[in-house]
Amino acid sequence: MNTISSVVEQYIKSKPFLLSSLSQGIINLTSLSRIMMPDLQLHLGKEVKQGAIVMALKRLSEELDFKINYKISKVLKNIGEITVRSSLTDYTFVISDTLLENQARLLAEINKAHDIFYTSSRGVNETNIVVSNSIASTIETIFRGEKLTHKIEDLSSITVKLPQENISTPGVYYYIFQRLAWEGIIIHEVISTTNEFTIIVSDDQIDVAFKVIKDLKNVFD
């Protein structure tokens, strides 16, 4: 059986930015309850008092304050080194029978060089390769027989070292990417390992993106 509290929770959780604002206590609960009332009454099939919605929102905001602010803040305050690389190019190739073989050839070339950025992610139908511009000609030679669907130049990367707690704390990535979205940052690629993630953004947005991530340590102060 649906209750006012459960329906309010479902409503809030379906709106990510509203969820975060509620957890930070920056929303007028009375005004929000007035906006929500028609939807809640339709869902419950009965009249709902505004005071009941306000109380449900208050309880939910207190719960979210602990679940989101307390737990995530512990992880974000312990963010490790942040590494920025520039002059990158992102290639997207359709997966083929020869693609892995060509990637092996590329890795052999990269191992001969120094200070080269390389990362790759493989999906169901395509593979992305992000590399330093200095070996762009090598990529285009080795992969000339592959089907290239996208090539994006003038990119930069930000690599963030996360503490061990990130693997057992829900919402860490959500919170980070939400902050980036608020600043209008377009993320071209996301590459992650257990305790590290890298985002690829355009050169003209790297300064803002770096500031957002650097300031995460202090966002709950």
User: What is the mean pLDDT, run by run of 10 residues, along the chain of 221 residues?
Assistant: 82 73 78 89 88 88 64 80 95 97 95 89 94 93 96 95 80 84 93 91 96 81 55
Dist. CA 152–CA 14, nearest whole Å: 33
- The closest alpha carbon to 73, from 173, 174, 219, 196, belongs to 219
In DSSP terms, 82 is beta-bridged to 160
Which residues face 92 on adjacent strands? 128, 150
Amino acid letter, residue 143: F
Query: Residue 153 is encoded by which pair of tokens?
Result: 């130049």
pLDDT of residue 12: 81
